[in-house]
């Protein structure tokens, strides 16, 4: 299976370049709105995560009844119930949920950064290994900065990540649309 773009579909994509640019502009505007109110963007992020967890929990509960004769019934009920409860918790207290998500994100960034640094040094005989170490340092420092500002930063950090992601996706789509046209 090839991971390359099928050249026969290139004409279709080239003809839709304007849609990519328009979507990119809309995403940048949404990112600007998120930058304008990071607290609301954080709450929106928490609601999104909560909704996904609630749906996942309900699906696990439904699965429990599909496999009740299989022997994993209790596992599915507990898993689904806890997942659904966590999703509901995000809706009931989004600020506390954002605090929990923020510290988990900080821990994940610290661990990922440390791992990337370790991998980078393991690759030291190869060219470009320093870039892996630098990327790991940036990730590690980001995690430490977020952890150092926790729990106060929990009010805006998830919104900031959402805003940056929206703007970056918008810029990427605009660049893709303009470049695919030519």
For residue range 18-69, list pLDDT tens digits in order.
999 999 999 999 999 999 999 999 999 999 999 999 999 999 999 888 877 7
Q: Which of 46-55, 60-69, 98-107, 136-145 has the lowest mean pLDDT?
A: 60-69
Q: Is the pLDDT of residue 133 over 80?
A: yes
Q: What is the mean pLDDT of residues 91-105?
A: 93
Q: What is the mean pLDDT of residues 84-99?
A: 94
pLDDT at 94: 93
Would residue 151 count as lying in a domain? yes
Would residue 125 count as lying in a domain? yes
Query: In which element (H, E) is residue 169 found?
Result: helix 157-181
* Residue 166 or residue 8, greater confidence: 166
Torsion of CA 84, 55, 78, 74, to 10 degrees: 150
- Total domains in the chain come to 1
Would residue 44 count as lying in a domain? yes
Q: Are 180 and 20 in contact (CB under 8 A)?
A: yes
The 3-state DSSP class for residue 3 equals: coil
The 3-state DSSP class for residue 156 equals: coil
pLDDT at 99: 94
Would residue 6 count as lying in a domain? no
pLDDT at 1: 52
Q: What is the mean pLDDT of residues 72-85?
A: 89
**What's the token pair of residue 71?**
């022997």
Q: Are 24 and 177 in contact (CB under 8 A)?
A: yes
Average pLDDT along the chain:
89
Would residue 70 count as lying in a domain? yes
Q: What is the mean pLDDT of residues 156-180?
A: 92
Q: Are 115 and 137 in contact (CB under 8 A)?
A: no
Give the distance from CA 17 to its chain's centroid. Answer: 26
Cite the DSSP H helix spans in the chain: 10-15, 17-36, 38-66, 73-92, 94-122, 129-148, 157-181
Would residue 2 count as lying in a domain? no
Q: Is the pLDDT of residue 5 over 70?
A: no
Q: Is the pLDDT of residue 8 over 80?
A: no
Q: What is the residue range of 139's domain?
A: 16-181
Q: Is the pLDDT of residue 134 over 70?
A: yes
What gap in Å lies between CA 150 and CA 140, rounded to an integer? Answer: 15
% of the chain at pLDDT higher than 70: 95
125-131-136 Cα angle (round to 5): 110
Residues 18, 22, 25, 27, CA torsion sign: negative
Would residue 71 count as lying in a domain? yes
Would residue 8 count as lying in a domain? no
Q: What is the mean pLDDT of residues 106-127?
A: 91
Q: Answer whether the bond into residue 105 is a cis peptide, omega within 30°.
A: no
């Amino acid at each position: 299976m090839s991971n390359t773009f099928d050249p026969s579909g290139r004409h279709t994509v080239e003809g839709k370049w304007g849609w990519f640019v328009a979507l990119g502009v809309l995403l940048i505007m949404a990112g600007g709105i998120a930058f304008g109110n990071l607290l609301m963007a954080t709450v929106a992020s928490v609601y999104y995560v909560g909704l996904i967890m609630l749906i996942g929990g309900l699906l696990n509960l439904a699965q429990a009844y599909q496999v009740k004769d299989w022997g994993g019934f209790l596992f599915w009920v507990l898993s689904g119930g806890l997942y659904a409860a966590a999703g509901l918790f995000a809706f009931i207290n989004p600020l506390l949920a954002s605090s929990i998500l923020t510290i988990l994100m900080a821990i994940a960034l610290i661990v990922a950064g440390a791992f990337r640094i370790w991998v980078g040094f393991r690759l030291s005989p190869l060219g470009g290994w320093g870039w892996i170490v630098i990327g790991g340092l940036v990730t590690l420092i980001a995690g430490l900065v977020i952890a150092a500002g926790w729990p106060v930063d929990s009010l805006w950090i998830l919104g900031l990540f959402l805003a940056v992601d929206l703007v970056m996706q918008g810029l990427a789509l605009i660049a893709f649309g303009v470049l695919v046209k030519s």
